[in-house]
Structure 1
């Protein structure tokens, strides 16, 4: 029987003295699923993603990712786990402005001990596949928002993770760039990655996920199939600039 990639059981997370950000949440994600987590601001959806990534710890319950109890890991163990098994994409890119695009993408591999030449060769491959190799020597500040998010996706794929987590990946983009990133995420899932996307945008959820989990006031209030995009949508197909399998 196939084991879940993600399994949360009875998870509660509370900050200060206010109501819990998450209350008694249980969630299972199987290998190869594409799940969109929807909810208004403050609903707890980003807290959920941070717990899965090991960036936060629950006050109660268990969080297991790829067979590892991440809620039991210390800071160093969590960092190693993310580096080896999880790719992360953030709303505001989190690129280092004093490093070139290639250096930003290669950074996870360099931190994992990969030799510079091998890391930069892998980065060059990803930048070409994502259609942004012409910016390899540029600083992130010279790129558009959509291009910077592509760099962030390339960095997330650097160590070939099977699980990709995205936290509001189109929140800082205009609508055209947002649609482009949504199509890219859908294509990455179509290649076999497990994908969890936190978003407030139902259109993004429809474009890249087959399952929708809705969170309201820290509780899961809906969990079921997402509505499929229209036949004219681009879900599952890399945008022309990024054609080619990305591994």
Structure 2
């Protein structure tokens, strides 16, 4: 049996006031899964995401992603890890309004030192595959919410990361745009992309994920694998 892409073992995260955001959580995610993480506010969803992304360190336990002990990385190594192995999509897009769509998508490649011609070819490929190539020279402010989220997904996939993290990716979208992004995530996962999706939206989790966990008070209360999707 192959090692999981994500291996979180007995992880606790405690803050100065003594509250435990995570309380001995263990989670393994196989390559190719689309995992939805649900739970009420304060259940530990964001903390888990930050630990997987190397943005925070556990008080106890280990976090391994793609064979790398993320909890042991230095600050500079963590930044390199995120550039090369993690693609992140946020609720509010986090696009730079003074850059064109293409230049926004190119940013991760520029930070990684990818040659310009190679990066430009990859950006054009992504924009075409995501159906937004006609907006390549436009600025994000001219696009709809759903189109901006597609740009954010293209940027996240620029360096071909083994893991895509989506934090409430439809939270700022209307229903139609949200379903559009959901279909995009489904298509990416069908092509083999591993996804960790944090959402309050049960319908989104059921539509996009192959597996759903629910966190309550820093532990996994439910872990359900979809029979069909």
The normalised TM-score by structure 2 is 0.96
Tell me which residue corresponds to 1:67. Answer: 67
Aligned length: 229
Listed as ranges, the gaps of 5+ residues in structure 1 are 230-247
CA distance in 1, matches of 2:190, 2:173: 23
Tell me which residue corresponds to 2:39. Answer: 39
**Once the two structures are superposed, what CA deviation does each residue of 1:27-54 show, in whole Å capped at 9, x if it has no partner?**
0001111111111122111111111011
Return the offset for 1:144: 1.1
Return the offset for 1:218: 1.4
**Once the two structures are superposed, what CA deviation does each residue of 1:184-216 show, in whole Å capped at 9, x if it has no partner?**
101100001111111010111111111110001
Tell me which residue corresponds to 1:113. Answer: 113
- Paired residues for 1:176-187 under 5 Å: 176-187=176-187
- DSSP-derived class of the 1:21 partner: strand
- DSSP-derived class of the 2:121 partner: helix
Flag as ranges the 4+ runs of structure 1 deviating above 4 A.
none
Return the offset for 1:74: 1.4
The Cα RMSD (Å) is: 1.3
Tell me which residue corresponds to 2:23. Answer: 23
The normalised TM-score by structure 1 is 0.89
**Once the two structures are superposed, what CA deviation does each residue of 1:154-208 show, in whole Å capped at 9, x if it has no partner?**
0011011121111111111111111110111011000011111110101111111
- Paired residues for 1:77-96 under 5 Å: 77-96=77-96
Tell me which residue corresponds to 1:241. Answer: none
**Once the two structures are superposed, what CA deviation does each residue of 1:13-39 show, in whole Å capped at 9, x if it has no partner?**
123305211111110001111111111
- DSSP-derived class of the 2:88 partner: strand
Compared with structure 1, are the counterparts of its residues 92 and 227 closer, same or farther at alpha carbon in structure 2 (3 Å cutoff)?
Answer: farther
Is 2:64 the counterpart of 1:57? Answer: no
Listed as ranges, the gaps of 5+ residues in structure 2 are none
Contact 2:66-2:162 at 8 Å conserved across structures: no
- DSSP-derived class of the 1:22 partner: strand
Return the offset for 1:124: 1.3
